[in-house]
Each structure stands twice: as C-alpha cells, then as structure tokens.
Amino acid sequence: MAATKSKAAKKGAPLLGKYELGRLLGRGTFAKVYHARSLAPGADPVAVKVLDKPDLAAAGAGMATRVLREVAAMRRLRHPNVLRLHEVLATRSKVYLVMELAPGGDLLSRLASLPSRRLPEHAAQRVFLQLVSALIYCHARGVSHRDVKPQNVLLDAHGNLKVSDFGLAALPDSLRDDGRLHTACGTPAFAAPEVLRRKAYDGAKADAWSCGVILFVLLAGHLPFDDSNIADMCRKAHRREYALPRWVSQPARRLVSRLLDPNPATRLAVAELATHPWFKRSLSLDSQLGSLLGGQPERELAFQAPPPLNAFDIISMSPGLDLSGLFGESKRRREKRFVTTASPERTVERLGQAGAKLGYFMVGKKGVERLPLGGLSGLVAMSMEMSEVSPSMMLVELRLEGGDDGDGGAEEFGWEELRAELGDDVVMAWHG
C-alpha cells in the first residue's frame, strides 16, 4: 500500500494532502529530491527530499543518525543564506523533508558552466560574503557544517547562496568532554588537515579551512590540493604547496593564506573574516568612501567625528512629530534610532559584535567607518549614521538597506534581538 502511495505521489497525486510532487531534481544514494507545488493558496514551490525508510535501516544506524542530525540542525537555523527546512512528513515507508527550493542549482555546476571555471574577483567577493554570513550564523548557534563545498552551496532564482546538506553537521551535544569533535568526516579535498589526520578538532575552524578552499576555487578555477592519495594531499596542505594565479589581488592572496593555515590555532576564524581588508575594498554603499578604499585598499580609515545636530534636527525627531506613519509600515520596519553616551568607537564596536552574532553586515554613511559582517537576503546591509546631540551624547540612526520596501526581509529582521545584544551599556534610550 505504501509503495502504491509513493508511486501515486510521483505522478502528481497530493502528498499527504499537502504537496504535489513534480519533476525529479536530483538523486543520491539514499534520497531523491523533487520539485513540488504546495496546495496552500499562494504558496511558493518547494523541494521535497524523499528518503526510503527500509534503505536507511539497511544502511545501518549511521545513516538514520545522519538524517536526524540534518533535521535537528536545519530546524534551529533560519538565515537567508541557509536552505530552509519547512517541515518533515512521514509515512510507514518514507520520510519527506520539505525544503526551500533553490532553482539555480549548485555552485559547482555554475562554476563548471563558465569558460574560465572561476569568477571575477568582485563576483567572488559577493559569493564568499554570503557563505561567510551563513557560517557565522551557524557557528553562533552551535552548528558546525563539516562538509562545506561547492556541491552543498545552492543558488536561488536571484543568484543568492543557500548553504545546504547538514547531514554531517555537528551540534553542541556532539562535543566530547574536551570540548572538541573527534569524528573524521567530510570531503577530503575540502576537509581540514586535522580532520583528515583524525585528530580532535574545532568544528568552526575546520569550516574555516573549507571556506579557504572554496575561495581558492572561486578565484583560480581549480582546487588548491588535489590528489587521489589522501596522505600526499595532507602533506601538500601542511607545506602549503599551492599556487594562486597572478591575476589574484594581494588582499585576496593574504586572505587565502590565513584560511589555508594548517595550524588551526592561528587559522583565521570565520567570525573574523568580515573585517578583512579584502571585503572593505568593494562592499561600500557610500561612493565617496568607496573611492578612498579603492585607491588604498589596505589602509584603515580613521573614524571621523559625526556632524552635530541643530535644534530643528532634534525637534523634528521627537516622537510627537514622527510622520513616518504617513508612509506606511515599511519605513517603521526598516529604521530605528537610539541615543547613546558611549563613544563612537565603542558604539561601532558593539554594533559590529552584534552583527557578527546575529548574521548581518553593517556599513556606515557620511564617512563613518564601515564594518561588513555578513548579509540578509533582499537587504544589502544595515547602514548606520551617527550625529552629535551634545559633546557627550550621540544619536544613532539604523536603516535596513536594499531590497524592495515591501519585501519580507525587513519584516523578519530581529530588532528585539539587536536591542538585547546592545544592552543598556550602549543604549540610553530608543527613539519612539
């Protein structure tokens, strides 16, 4: 009976009264992924991963554990650059994972379709920033992916990244008493040396190595270490026997070198990637500051004093004179203000720390230093502008930039989480 139901579902009959399965998108050893249409009015199409229970049981407890781990990891992750798990359905013989649809295919296929098999550096920056944003978010929630590779990075219809396949992910309960992971897993060409050598390791630092391999592939069009003999590949990795093409910029070379560091203790962490000078060269919404960075990409900008407010500016910001309601809910969802007595440097630092934890990146306006720290789908960044109310008091204006005013990105943004992260040590009062 279960087999009849499964066959009917593949022909387009409703799956448990909720989804209509369509064409096959891909298949693995134990699963098939289908394009599906939700029967709910106005719902977006989805992807349904179909797993056969008898096949999973025959493969041993490890395969069933992998599925449970994937579900547990994806359920705790809701980030624009992480493939979303909508729900899990099951019959007596099948398990159905209903997930976000990524019609753009995987990153490896996209690169393979290019004549050079690589991306221009500015495009590689955009792709890599989204990957970093997703992993910063995952690590902050105790999830290490452990199999970061282009095949597991999908693309949506707009070319935005979606990190997928959390079957090898490590959750906090995976750590041993020493606070480390001990299971050797992943794809050898992308796995960190300490993982391949079956040593205890930090999952986040292992993901950082995989990011370095992906960045190398994006810039060069081929793997840095590619050998069928894993022992030889480990030796090459420890000796850093790789060569980037001459067209790769010096900031990018330095970033690759910091990531492909065989010593995990000195390897650059994923959370530190956002402030690397390579990103500061191009992730700019302010053309004036962008031109300064373009001319001297490695120079740190000095913090410029915010402009003072006049009396009219202060009065116009009074809640009683707030006219944003005339422009609909969108503006209120996108903009927030708070008053602080903290120094500009301290305020920038705390906002940067909050961005790293919450998974967005930040840019400044009018000469204020910018801190790129990740991304939110449909939103280019959160911009910040600071104005001096008095010598000891600043007004900080935050705005979600990019996307359409009617999109869901601003509506989903966690303003309350940001308030909690900043706390009373920075914020004296929120406007309105």
Report the distance separating Cα 195 and Cα 217, nearest Å.
Answer: 20
Tokens of 134: 């997703």
Query: Within 13 Å and on the Cβ side, how many CA atoms surround 281?
Result: 19
Residue 335, Cα to own-chain centre: how many angstroms? 23
Tokens of 260: 């492909």
Look up residue 144 and give its DSSP letter: B
Report the distance separating Cα 240 and Cα 235, nearest Å.
Answer: 8
Contact 36, 103 (CB under 8 A): no
Q: Which residues on neighbouring strands pair with residue 33, listed in sequence order?
A: 26, 49
53 is in an annotated binding site: no
Q: Catalytic site residue 313?
A: no
Residues 6 or more apart in contact with residue 3 via CB below 8 angstroms: 93
Contact 71, 119 (CB under 8 A): no
Considering 147, 165, 202, 261, which one is annotated as catalytic? 147
CA dihedral 314, 318, 321, 326 (to 10 degrees): 100
Report the SS3 class of residue 14: strand
Cα 218–Cα 150–Cα 192 angle in degrees, nearest 5: 90
Q: Which residues on neighbouring strands pair with residue 370, listed in sequence order?
A: none
Report the distance separating Cα 33 and Cα 43, nearest Å.
Answer: 19
Candidates 186, 241, 234; CA nearest to 210 is 186
> Phi, psi (5° rounding) for residue 408?
-85, -10
Contact 191, 169 (CB under 8 A): no
Annotated binding site for ATP: 49
- List residues with catalytic annotation: 147
Annotated binding site: 49
